[in-house]
């Protein structure tokens, strides 16, 4: 299909399909040793090659690396501020899941948005975006150079590609996988939640993650 000429209404469907492909890629990247599936999430035994070193710029203007987030489990979503529906919906789902939890437990997690549109998503624009009351409290926005963002996306096996579209006010959109990553306090991959997972299911899984001791470094 011609990416430049496809109808705009196809983008959410394509993003959802990409998300499912990315989930299967996560499974394929795991070592063998049996499988466990948690409701709403994807989890298997073994070590996943998901995550790793990155250097990006926070919405506060500070340069940060993965080391700055050690000690707290992270909920990471790759998206962009010009995203018309998929990204804000996913961030709202993340926020809703955390709101359903005990406040002390919810505060354990650091929610993060990593932009896949570094050309437009400056620290300043991210600073405004992450303040939305519909998004998780304390959401941190990260961006950087094109090369820095690509390196971070590659580390998390995130797919994204620019799609020119003259029918939108944004001039172009970005097709991308829509997945929430749960990383433990040591920055190790735990599991993913697919786009549209019920917030109640995510909340229950996060509570169980804490009970299992996964929030401790």
Q: Is 63 helix (H, G, I), strand (E, B) or coil?
A: strand
Q: How far apart are CA 139 and CA 142, in angstroms?
A: 10
* pLDDT of 168 over the 90 cut: no
Contact 156, 186 (CB under 8 A): no
Confidence of residue 48 (pLDDT cuts 50, 70, 90): low
Confidence of residue 14 (pLDDT cuts 50, 70, 90): very low
pLDDT, the chain, mean? 83
Of the candidates 115, 123, 121, 119, the one whose C-alpha atom is nearest the C-alpha of residue 91 is 115
What is the value of pTM for the model shown?
0.80
């Amino acid at each position: 299909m011609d990416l430049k000429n496809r109808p705009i209404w196809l983008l959410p469907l394509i993003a959802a399909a990409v998300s499912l492909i990315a989930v299967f890629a996560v499974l394929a990247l795991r070592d063998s040793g049996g499988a466990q599936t948690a409701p709403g999430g994807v989890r298997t035994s073994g070590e996943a090659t998901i995550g790793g070193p990155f250097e990006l710029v926070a919405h506060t203007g500070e340069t940060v690396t993965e080391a700055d987030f050690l000690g707290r489990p992270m909920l990471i979503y790759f998206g962009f501020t010009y995203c018309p529906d998929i990204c804000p919906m996913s961030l709202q789902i993340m926020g809703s899941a955390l709101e359903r939890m005990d406040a002390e437990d919810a505060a354990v997690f650091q929610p993060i948005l990593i932009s896949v549109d570094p050309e437009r998503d400056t620290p300043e624009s991210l600073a405004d975006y992450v303040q939305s009351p519909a998004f998780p409290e304390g959401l941190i926005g990260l961006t950087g150079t094109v090369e820095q963002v690509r390196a971070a996306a590659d580390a998390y096996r995130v797919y994204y590609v620019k799609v020119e579209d003259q029918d939108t006010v944004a001039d172009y959109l970005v097709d991308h996988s829509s997945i929430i990553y749960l990383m433990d306090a040591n920055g190790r991959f735990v599991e993913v939640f697919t786009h549209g997972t019920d917030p109640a299911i995510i909340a229950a899984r996060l509570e169980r993650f804490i009970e299992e001791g996964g929030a401790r470094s």
